[in-house]
Amino acid sequence: MWRTLENGTREFLPGKENWAAAALAALDCPGFLLDVDEEVIADEERSCYNCRYRRWSAASFTCQWRFQQG
């Protein structure tokens, strides 16, 4: 579901429209943090698409959480 980029962040391979995969990925993630309301887009609250640590890219998003933890 993920690939690690050169800078150490992980890119979400299912892209921007795979709602089920984004919810599944967030299910057991210890870093999940719900973003501010105006940036929440998934109906499943616990979703990587709603996470403060996702950084949107043209095709998908990268997870900044593990990157933040070093």
Partner 1 sequence: MQIVISIDDTDNLESRGTGEIASLIAEGLTEKGWGTASLVTRHQLLVHPDIPYTSHNSAMCFAAEIDEGAWEQVIGFAGEFLRRESAEGSDPGLCVVSLPGLRHTPELVEFGRRAKREVIAMPEAYQLAERLGVHLSEHGGTGQGIIGALAGAGLRLWGNDGRMKGSLTFARETVSVTELLAHPNVDEVRCVTGVQVSARDLVRLGEKPKTVLIGGASVLLVSAAESADVAWQTLHRRQLKDY
Binding site for partner 1 (CB under 8 A): 19, 35-43, 52-58, 64, 68
Are residues 23 and 34 in contact, defined by beta-carbon separation less than 8 angstroms?
Answer: no
Question: Minimal distance in Å, beta carbon 7 to partner 1?
Answer: 11
Question: Minimal distance in Å, beta carbon 63 to partner 1?
Answer: 11
Measured from the CB atom, the residue of 24 and 42 that comes closer to partner 1 is 42
Measured from the CB atom, the residue of 46 and 55 that comes closer to partner 1 is 55
Question: Minimal distance in Å, beta carbon 52 to partner 1?
Answer: 6
28, 37, 40 from 54: Cα distances, Å: 16, 14, 11
Contacts of 46 (CB under 8 A, 6+ apart): 23, 26, 27, 32, 34
